[in-house]
Structure 1
Amino acid sequence: MKLDLKILVYSFFLFSISLQAQEGNKIVIITLDGLRWQELFGGADSLLINNNRFVENAAGLKDEFWAKTKEERREKLFPFVWNFIAKEGVILGNRWEGNKVNLTNNMIFSYPGYNEILTGKADDDHINSNDKIYNPNKTILEIANFSKKYRGKVLAFGSWDVFPFILNEKRSEIPVNAGYRSSLSKNPSEKALFLDKIQQETPKRWAGVRFDVFTHNYAMEALKHEKPDVLYIAYGETDDFAHDGRYDEYLKSAHQTDKMIREVWEFVNLDTYYKGKTSILITTDHGRGTGIGENDTWRGHGTSIKDADQTWIMAFGNEIKPKGEITRKKQYYTNQFAPTVSKIIDLDIQFEAKPLPVLDN
């Protein structure tokens, strides 16, 4: 009888922990590699969409994405962003309105950008290349994974094969499905196994970056079957198509990512585990240049590219106050992203930067 009572008490304890986990806030962090604020707020760029060096079928591309005004063009390119997030969330970074978001790191490329986004600070002394070195800094994901509240409830999916190092998977113990990795689930779904198969069979365009369709669908399977409380999805195509000088594919990828973000939101807004408890925060690791000609600076970024430190941030969901597009003159920084995540999921972490003014409080 005493043994049965102990089992009953222990079972109730486990149930209580499970219930607390279900009751707590969830968060989905999304990044779009190298997506310029110019396209986010103004849609297709006239200097690029009409240039046959960067576009194979200008007429067809313009039918899909061109319109007379910036507002019309951005809605064509990002319909979910401008028909939903702009009404139900917050969007920062429209520099035409004097609303600015900038990096604080001085490297202005991917690894330093992701480190700043996820740790809340620049680290130019240690993170100054895209080399596959394990991050000495702890990300907000790692801190969450070692907290009582979110232990074992953190997952990450990325198109770029450097993310296992950015998130320091060895130390953080976060499962990171990135690059051309197959499903890491202990019990992969039928769809995840099929993704494994077709990913192996699909020709590779880039050595270290897979197509976002795989990253997205692996992440969606995790949402459906593994129920992470903290999920990171890092899409990568926009940066690589831009580096390739393919503005047409850059636009198409950006448009497709808008659909992917909508799919994530529609799922968490219907699923009983996530509904009413989930916030989504979105940003980019760096900007790009604006020029065409000898150097085509729109294709690149880094310290030599003027204005490539200009970024943007979006947020929506249960903890986000629906303020829409912020058009007042104000300066924000990417290092405010992690403090905002920390506040949403209620982790007691000290940051130098303050959370962004997007929370519903």
Structure 2
Amino acid sequence: MFKRLLLLCLVAGAGSCALAQERQTENVIIITLDGFRWQELFAGADSSLIYEKDYVHDKSVLEKFWDSSPVARRQKLMPFFWNVIGAEGQLYGNRELGNRVNCANPYWFSYPGYSEMMTGFVDNGIRSNDKKENPNATVLEYIHKQKEYTGKVAVFSTWNVIPYIVRAQAHGIPANAGEEHAIGDTLSDCEMLLNALQPILKNGHGERYDAFTFFYAFEYLKRERPRVMFISFDETDEHGHGGRYDEYLKSAHHTDRMISQLWQWLQSQEDYKNKTTLLITTDHGRGHISRKAWKNHGRLIPGSSQMWFAVIGPDTPVLGEMKNEAQYFQKQVAKTAAAFLGIHYENTEPVGEVIESMFIPELLSDSRIMDLHR
């Protein structure tokens, strides 16, 4: 029987057997949950924090998110991650299983993290969160320069520094962040409503709610049909610094729901269905040694470099929670995201390698991931 199947494949040549291994991804969406720990992603609500009255004012989170089983807790907190990505994609970073993901940069806070993620390498000169343009080229501008993707890349973020990190303005990439209104000349009714509500509804941290970021991005996606998007959420980090573990959990849960809504819509659209890969991650971890440590992060706070990845798409093997012992780094995101589009990403410095386990093996040959400049 095996010999007959092999013979059929050989006879077909470039036919059905070869076509089964063609790259399907035509669109990539990178999503980040700022400062969201791997501990909550893989084990749900932390028992040492959810009962701490200084950090939990809203007791309803106990009923919503608590269970004696870590597996049940994580499903309650992040149902899309575990019921959909866990069943159809991959999740990396459960250190209890030896599967580790880390920042390669030594600073363990936002700007260095996002820069490493978007450039593919560590610039030790980036050591603040100042609103200054990144001195290094990013994978988004690299993709944007390709003829097929010019005008098809967009950025939406809650934190108003993200456009500077990805150098959006300098390279003509549409970007919306902080208190900015919707992008475009012809806006939907939803976008006009969001523009009117945003100055009224503040989240108390000087930035907008993540829901505004999501719906601005969602409406732009419906209207402009971009091929590559970066959507960056921020509330988990803000509530972490504010010491509100209840709000931190609720924000993570709300973000999970928004990503679920996005995925369901993508899978209902002919130009996105089974042609889109979501790559989801964070910019840094948080402390874990003491009860107070979870509020902060940085090079002096153990655990701050520990992070995670999640991926779902047509070219990713269904492996669920990755249980193999392995070490991955944030700097691998850039080249991996480009590889899903068949683009070989390079920069002035060596960049982190493609995370090969995220791909069907046959798609990683040199003939299938090519530098479009050549």
Alignment TM-score > 0.5, same fold: yes
Q: What corresponds to 1:117 in structure 2?
A: 117
Cα distance in structure 1, aligned partners of 2:25 and 2:56: 47
Secondary structure of the 2:270 match is coil
Q: What corresponds to 2:77 in structure 1?
A: 77
Q: What corresponds to 1:18 in structure 2?
A: none
Summarize the Cα distance change of 1:24–1:79 in structure 2 as closer, same or farther, 3 Å threshold: closer
Amino acid at match of 2:80: F
Cα distance in structure 1, aligned partners of 2:360 and 2:178: 36
Structure 2: segments with no counterpart, 5+ residues? 1-23, 362-374
Query: How far apart are 1:118 and its partner, in Å?
Result: 1.0
8 Å Cα contact 2:77-2:252 kept in structure 1: yes
Cα distance in structure 1, aligned partners of 2:39 and 2:344: 35
8 Å Cα contact 1:101-1:334 kept in structure 2: yes
Q: What corresponds to 1:15 in structure 2?
A: none
8 Å Cα contact 1:278-1:319 kept in structure 2: no
**1:1-361 alignment, distance < 5 Å:** 25-58=26-59, 60-125=60-125, 127-207=126-206, 209-292=207-290, 296-350=292-346, 351-356=350-355, 357-361=357-361
Cα distance in structure 1, aligned partners of 2:202 and 2:73: 32
Please report the TM-score for the alignment, with normalisation by the length of structure 1: 0.90
Q: What corresponds to 2:12 in structure 1?
A: none
Amino acid at match of 1:223: L
RMSD: 1.2
Cα distance in structure 2, aligned partners of 1:176 and 1:355: 26
Amino acid at match of 1:311: M
Amino acid at match of 1:52: K
Cα distance in structure 2, aligned partners of 1:250 and 1:152: 35
Runs of at least 4 residues off by over 3 Å: none
Secondary structure of the 1:81 match is helix
Query: How far apart are 1:156 and its partner, in Å?
Result: 0.6
Amino acid at match of 2:325: K
Secondary structure of the 1:149 match is helix
Q: How many residues align?
A: 334
Cα distance in structure 2, aligned partners of 1:90 and 1:164: 28
Cα distance in structure 1, aligned partners of 2:299 and 2:64: 34
Amino acid at match of 1:315: V
Cα distance in structure 1, aligned partners of 2:27 and 2:213: 20
Q: What corresponds to 2:6 in structure 1?
A: none
Secondary structure of the 1:254 match is helix
Secondary structure of the 2:304 match is coil
Amino acid at match of 1:344: F
Cα distance in structure 2, aligned partners of 1:107 and 1:292: 20
Cα distance in structure 2, aligned partners of 1:201 and 1:308: 34
8 Å Cα contact 1:269-1:275 kept in structure 2: yes
Amino acid at match of 1:76: K
Cα distance in structure 2, aligned partners of 1:63 and 1:204: 24
Structure 1: segments with no counterpart, 5+ residues? 1-22
Cα distance in structure 2, aligned partners of 1:311 and 1:57: 27
* 1:305-355 deviation digits (Å, cap 9, x = unpaired): 012100000000112111111011111111111111010112232353211
Cα distance in structure 2, aligned partners of 1:318 and 1:105: 31
Summarize the Cα distance change of 1:340–1:24 in structure 2 as closer, same or farther, 3 Å threshold: closer
Please report the TM-score for the alignment, with normalisation by the length of structure 2: 0.87
Summarize the Cα distance change of 1:24–1:93 in structure 2 as closer, same or farther, 3 Å threshold: closer
Amino acid at match of 1:87: A
Summarize the Cα distance change of 1:24–1:334 in structure 2 as closer, same or farther, 3 Å threshold: closer
